[in-house]
């Protein structure tokens, strides 16, 4: 049995992950964490009625539950500190929270190596998103002109999405840094052309009704290619989260992307 703690258990993803842990017989939910929670036991929350696990509001106190895996779906400013805390105590982090800088990930990877503790930070746990990024990287060899359109629910805090940033990083490995569009173009409304990553434009759409969607649109002379991924249910992320919880204890490093554990 893998002992798991879920940070951010009241959020959209944290609650889904908590249900996933409770459902799997090889996982044991040893606690949940939210610094501002008022409950003492998970079962006090209606959707978890009958499911007992301690609610922690203090990082140090989580150690009393002796978790082996720390699932984190919180907010960027908390997740970096949470991941550091987990690694310092040889707890394997499985982090879905987005907004980590490359420098923060590098520092955490060094800490994981020092602690010989495996873990994973993945901006997207859905298999279709991993494939969408890999197919897009392949296409960028032949179609270096590309724009990314990511679309999310209107409660999302960060823009562009972690997935869009990772996609742009992967595309840049192939196409390099290359300006696109008319060099003399102007924006009549600031921001009209979106964010700029190595010359690629990233557009962030936020609308009620959406969950998580991304379109990578390539253009060539007289032809175009669009690679699109859609998330219709947050349950889709759970295959990847469960897989990571099973595999991270077998590694001794912190990976950046679900593809490294597939």
Ligand X SMILES: O=C(O)C1=N[C@H](C(=O)O)C[C@H](O)C1
Ligand Y SMILES: NC(=O)C1=CN([C@@H]2O[C@H](COP(=O)(O)OP(=O)(O)OC[C@H]3O[C@@H](n4cnc5c(N)ncnc54)[C@H](OP(=O)(O)O)[C@@H]3O)[C@@H](O)[C@H]2O)C=CC1
Active site residue 156: yes
Q: Are 36 and 9 in contact (CB under 8 A)?
A: no
Region of residue 129 (left: phi > 0; alpha: psi -120 to 50; beta: else): alpha
Instruction: Give strand pairing partners of 202.
Output: 148, 195
**257 closest CA partner among 167, 173, 195:** 167
**Three-state DSSP class for residue 105:** helix
Instruction: Give the x/- contact pattern for ligand Y in 21-50, rule: CB under 6 A.
Output: ------------xxxx--------------
Residue 10 binds ligand Y, judged by CB under 6 A: yes
- What is the nearest approach in angstroms of ligand X to the Cβ of residue 151? 9
Provide the annotated binding site for (S)-2,3,4,5-tetrahydrodipicolinate.
153, 162-163
Q: Pick one of ligand X, ligand Y, none as the site partner of residue 49 (Cβ within 5 to 8 A by kind).
A: none
**61 closest CA partner among 19, 21, 33:** 33
Instruction: Give the x/- contact pattern for ligand Y in 121-160, rule: CB under 6 A.
Output: -xxxx--------------------------------x--
* CA gap 6, 56 in Å, rounded: 10
Residue 73 binds ligand Y, judged by CB under 6 A: yes
- What is the nearest approach in angstroms of ligand Y to the Cβ of residue 21? 15
According to DSSP, residue 61 is labeled G
**16 closest CA partner among 233, 232, 209:** 233
Q: Pick one of ligand Y, ligand X, none as the site partner of residue 78 (Cβ within 5 to 8 A by kind).
A: ligand Y
Return phi, psi of residue 138, to 5°: -65, -45
Q: Is the dihedral of CA 82, 83, 89, 94 positive or negative?
A: positive
Active site residue 247: no
3-state secondary structure 125-148: CCHHHHHHHHHHHHHHCCCCCEEE
Residue 11 binds ligand Y, judged by CB under 6 A: yes
- What is the nearest approach in angstroms of ligand Y to the Cβ of residue 12? 4
Q: Give the interface with ligand X as residue ranges (CB under 6 A).
A: 98, 123-124, 152, 156, 161-163, 212
Instruction: Give the x/- contact pattern for ligand Y in 195-234, rule: CB under 6 A.
Output: ----------------------------------------
152, 166, 203, 213: the catalytic one is 152
- Would you please indicate which residues are annotated as catalytic (active-site) residues? 152, 156
């Amino acid at each position: 049995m893998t002992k798991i703690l879920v940070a951010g258990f009241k959020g959209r993803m944290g609650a889904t992950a908590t249900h996933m842990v409770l459902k799997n017989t090889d996982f044991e939910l040893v606690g949940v964490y939210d610094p501002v929670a008022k409950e003492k036991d998970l079962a006090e929350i209606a959707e978890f009625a009958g499911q007992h696990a301690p609610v922690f509001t203090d990082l140090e106190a989580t150690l009393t539950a002796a978790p082996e895996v720390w699932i984190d779906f919180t907010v960027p400013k908390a997740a970096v500190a949470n991941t550091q805390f987990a690694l310092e105590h040889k707890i394997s982090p499985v982090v879905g929270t987005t907004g980590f800088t490359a420098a923060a990930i590098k520092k955490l990877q060094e800490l994981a190596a020092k602690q010989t503790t495996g873990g994973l930070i993945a901006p997207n746990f859905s298999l279709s998103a991993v494939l969408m990024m890999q197919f897009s990287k392949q296409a960028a060899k032949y179609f270096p002109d590309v724009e990314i359109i990511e679309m999310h629910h209107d409660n999302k805090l960060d823009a562009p999405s972690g997935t869009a940033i990772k996609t742009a990083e992967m595309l840049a490995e192939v196409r390099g840094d290359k300006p696109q569009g008319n060099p003399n173009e102007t924006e009549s409304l600031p921001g009209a052309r979106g964010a700029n990553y190595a010359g690629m434009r990233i557009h962030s759409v936020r609308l009620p009704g959406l969950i998580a969607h991304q379109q990578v649109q390539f253009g060539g002379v007289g032809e175009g290619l669009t690679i699109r991924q859609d998330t219709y249910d947050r349950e889709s992320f759970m295959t990847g989260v469960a897989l990571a919880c099973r595999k991270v204890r077998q590694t001794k490093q912190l990976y950046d992307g679900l593809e490294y554990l597939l």
